[in-house]
Structure 1
Amino acid sequence: METIQILIADDMEAHRRRLERIINSVGNLSLIGSAKSGYEAVAYAAIKKPDIVLMDIEMESPMAGIKAASEINKILPDTKIVMLTIHQDNNVVFAAFQTGIVDYLMKSAPKQEILEAIYSAANNQSPIRPIIAEKIRHEFARIKKSEDQLTHFFKIIANLTPSELEVLKLLCSGLKRKEIAEARAVELETIKKQVSSLLKKFNRNTAREVVEEVNELNLFDIIKEIS
């Protein structure tokens, strides 16, 4: 079996030493470098051209490994990058995969799982691990829900009067009813009626619910442009 050349990138010496022991315990794996930062990882990769990079995420900066993975993928598209990290945050996971990495597992993974990840990457057979698959399913569900809400809210906004749209914009900017009345130079009772109409159209009980949902969908930015 052809020797697989591996580069380690991790700022923690204990983690580097553990990975070095794992790699050195197998005859057809060859350690060609051990970087302590994302910057070093890119430099090592450019010079030594590894088959596999075992990359930590948080090194000299919280996203150093992700930045390094992106750079390595640009200059060495055939090099396979496996993230070994403690991070399970969805945003971090998706940011990592956007760089072109092939696998993502915890630093606490047992030796055999790390070796399997190396061989799978080398053979272009890296799996979508259950934890990642679950995150992807949740993300797709979140996007679908967000898209449905966006469509629903746009339909409502299309039926708002110009005055209601302006009141909604001011509510979303944090103004109270009295402040809106002063800003628009109208009676407070007029604003109360317009807010009541907004609640009815959005089918919500309080203005706070409407504001939270509109701001969560970033509709406020769109409303500012069109109002």
Structure 2
Amino acid sequence: MEKIKLVIADDHNLFRKGMTAMLNQIGDFELIGEAANGKELLDLLARVTPDIALLDLQMPVMDGVETTEHIQSQFPHVKVIIVSMHEEDRFIIHLLEKGVNGYLLKDSEPGEVENAIRRVMSDGFYYSDFVSKALHRKVITRATPPAPLFNSKVQISPREMEVLQLLCEGLSTLEISEKLFVSPRTVEGHRLRLLEKTGTKNTAGLVAYAFKNDLL
């Protein structure tokens, strides 16, 4: 059985050890390293190759935002899930726009953490209920009209719009293919074209972009 390789960075030793113990109990998860700050994590990533990094936002030396930027430029194969105590919409939206793959609260149930990791591995992103609500609040409370999403030379097709809508509802590639009666490969093709048109890095960024620009 191929294991999902994980690393974790958090300056609170008790929380970090607790997360490590919890994740190590899951048979196909493997914790291959831990760090107390972003700088330590980047040094670790130079030696190991995880699938997912779980990051705290507030850490000494290098925080989660700066660390995420370095991971995306130096280790683009590593997916990032933020695990934070911050519930403010501005933190959530900012990090989704930065292209993080998921955002969890530190008081999340163990089952949700496991589900988030699996969804990020299979679909590239995970949105909890509170993240979805934050995105919707961003749309509702925006005071100024959104900038045009596409220029006159770029068009989004009706089928791409359907795929985007379903991605924003949190459906996986397989679920979308079954709903639209097309192959998963076709869905993935639409998703990649949407990424290209919007200039976003991944599905999480695409969904955040769609909500921010009131595309739906």
Q: What TM-score bracket applies, with the shorter chain setting the length?
A: 0.5 to 0.7
Q: Name the SS of the counterpart of 2:65 in structure 1.
A: helix
- Structure 1 residue runs of 4+, over 4 Å off? none
1:65 and 2:64 matched: yes
SS of residue matched to 1:127: coil
- How far apart are the structure 1 equivalents of 2:112 and 2:127? 14
What is the distance in 1 between the residues matched to 2:42 and 2:94? 18
CA distance in 2, matches of 1:99, 1:49: 22
Distance 1:117 1:98 in 2: 18
Equivalent residue for 2:18? 18
Matched letter for residue 114 of structure 1: V
Alignment of 1:128-143 (within 5 A): 128-143=127-142
Higher share of residues assigned helix? 1
- Distance in 2 of aligned mates of 1:125 and 1:71: 19
What's the counterpart of residue 152 of structure 1?
none
Number of residue-to-residue matches in the alignment: 146
| Partner of residue 81, structure 1 | 80
Alignment-mate amino acid for residue 125 of structure 2:
S
Q: Is the 8 A contact 1:84 1:107 kept in 2?
A: yes
State the secondary structure of the residue aligned to 1:146.
coil
Alignment of 1:162-173 (within 5 A): none
Q: 1:147 aligns with which of 145, 148, 153?
A: 145
- Segment drifting more, 112-121 vs 2-11: 112-121
2:87 corresponds to which letter in structure 1? Q
Tell me the distance in 1 between the aligned counterparts of 2:81 and 2:128: 12
Give the distance between the partners of 1:55 and 1:140, measured in 2 at CA.
Answer: 27
1:55 alignment partner AA: L
Give the % identical residues.
25
One-letter amino acid of the counterpart of residue 116, structure 1 = N
User: Could you list the runs of 5+ residues in structure 1 that have no partner in the other structure?
Assistant: 149-227
Q: CA deviation at 1:35?
A: 0.5
Structure-2 separation of matches of 1:125 and 1:101:
10
How far residue 49 of structure 1 moved from its aligned partner, in angstroms, is: 2.0
Question: Which residue is 1:221 aligned to?
Answer: none
Q: Is the 8 A contact 2:103 2:126 kept in 1?
A: no
Partner in structure 1 of residue 28 of structure 2: 28
Structure 2 stretches lacking a partner, 5+ long: 147-216
Q: Distance in 2 between matches of 1:75 and 1:81?
A: 13
**In 1, distance between residues paired with 2:33 and 2:113?**
17
Q: Deviations over 1:138-161 (max 9, x none)?
A: 212233x3239xxxxxxxxxxxxx
CA RMSD of superposed structures (Å): 1.8
Deviation at 1:125, TM superposition (A): 5.0
Query: What TM-score comes out, normalization by structure 2 length?
Result: 0.63
TM-score (norm 1): 0.60
Report 1:92-131 matches (<5 A): 92-124=91-123, 126-131=125-130
Q: Name the structure 2 match of 1:37.
A: 37
Q: For 1:197-217, what per-residue CA distance to the aligned partner results, in whole angstroms no more than 9, with x for missing partners?
A: xxxxxxxxxxxxxxxxxxxxx
1:117 partner amino acid: A
> Counterpart of 1:223?
none
Q: Which structure carries more relative contact order (alpha carbon 8 Å, separation 6+)?
A: 2
Q: Quick check: which has more Rg, 1 or 2?
A: 1
- Structure 1: how far apart are the matches of 2:99 and 2:47? 20
